[in-house]
Amino acid sequence: MASRSSARGPVRAGAPREGDAGFEVAVVGAGVIGLAIAAAFARAGRSVIVLEQASGIARGVTSRNSEVIHAGLYYPTGSLKARLCVEGRRALYDWCGARRVGHRRLGKLIVATRPEEEDVLADLLAKGRANDVEGLAPIGTSALRALEPGVRATAALHSPETGIVDAHGLCLSLLAEAEAQGAVLALDRRVEALATTSFGWRLDVRGGDGGSEGLDVGLVVDAAGLEADGLAERAGVAVDALGWRQHPCKGDYFVLEGGPESTRIARGLPSRLVYPVPQQAGLGIHLTLDLAGRARFGPDAEYVDEIGFEVDGAKADRFRDAVARYLPAIAGARLSPDYAGIRPKLAGPGEGFRDFVVEECGAYGAPGFVACLGIESPGLTAALALAEYVLRWDSP
């Protein structure tokens, strides 16, 4: 069986014995959330196993996003999203600096392209300040022209704390920390079923070769991304009754098509991230830059019934026109499909704000099962703070 754990001995199996859990904590999912949680529990002295159904880490939602370190200004004050984003961002910059994970504090502009949108900027400024986001400043058209001459807007908000990060590098650093503290990563291991025992949980784990093993653990942390609601349901949590069903919402990305004209346009692009005012299910089709300086446009937001990552090339002109409203240089450009990601949203189509669900499910019939549901954006930014939050259910 292709598994990191096989090099360290198999996942512990066998009949459950009272008081002899195989591991104190099992984290299901090796995305950024699961890895951050594993590192936090391992650092707290717990024996931890991370079970991941794929044959590598960070192959889920974590591998398909904008890699933006969000400042924390979009979310209602006091919500988990607001608190964990702001705390997580501060911790993330420190973490990346200390561990040499690729990142850059580029700053971001949120732009109004019509006077009617300026109220939204004012609301974002007020919310951001209430959320304790540092350095936010409204800027007028002449300051904007000096800052980013290629951006057209009637007004803008500058967020200097926004940045970008190498998501995969971050996950590798979290894994390194977790393993250094004794945690075990088991790849090609899917948690199929789970049942409560007198001392915690017995997991039924299927390996890549189709065989199954039992694993006894004290606490289960559900960090299963797009499948987190299904896992919670298998743990006996009434997901639908609680409103915890996740609604997959796809976002496509486009890049400038190759060629000399695109190279010319790319040279004149802003050096900061540029976002329009937020839209219903997402943040609007924005310009982000990766660590290599490559520009990408997106994501949009489209609820889907099935998980699939094909980018619809027919959207290219719509993306270009949306971006050209604030970046006129793009008007003549040709865009080509890049990649797509899928958000595990708790809000269904047309519904309002929904917060992250990070809860121990004792009150819902599943004691010792911690559900992390609806971990869409800003989950990458919030990961380190979310992991500390989950530690509240650590019971030595």
User: How far apart are CB 269 and ligand FAD at their closest, in Å?
Assistant: 18
Toward ligand FAD, which CB reaches closer, 326 or 377? 377
User: How far apart are CB 259 and ligand FAD at their closest, in Å?
Assistant: 27
Toward ligand FAD, which CB reaches closer, 270 or 329? 270
Toward ligand FAD, which CB reaches closer, 50 or 125? 50
The alpha carbon of 68 is separated from its chain's Cα centroid by a whole number of angstroms, namely 10
- Nearest residue to ligand FAD, scored by beta-carbon proximity: 379
User: How far apart are CB 114 and ligand FAD at their closest, in Å?
Assistant: 25
- Interface residue list for ligand FAD (CB under 6 A): 28-34, 51-54, 59-62, 64-68, 70, 190-191, 223-227, 231, 251, 299, 341-343, 375-381
- Dist CA 51 CA 204 (whole Å): 11
Toward ligand FAD, which CB reaches closer, 179 or 227? 227
Toward ligand FAD, which CB reaches closer, 155 or 205? 205
User: How far apart are CB 356 and ligand FAD at their closest, in Å?
Assistant: 9
User: How far apart are CB 335 and ligand FAD at their closest, in Å?
Assistant: 17
Toward ligand FAD, which CB reaches closer, 200 or 378? 378
Toward ligand FAD, which CB reaches closer, 81 or 127? 81
User: How far apart are CB 23 and ligand FAD at their closest, in Å?
Assistant: 15
User: How far apart are CB 391 and ligand FAD at their closest, in Å?
Assistant: 16
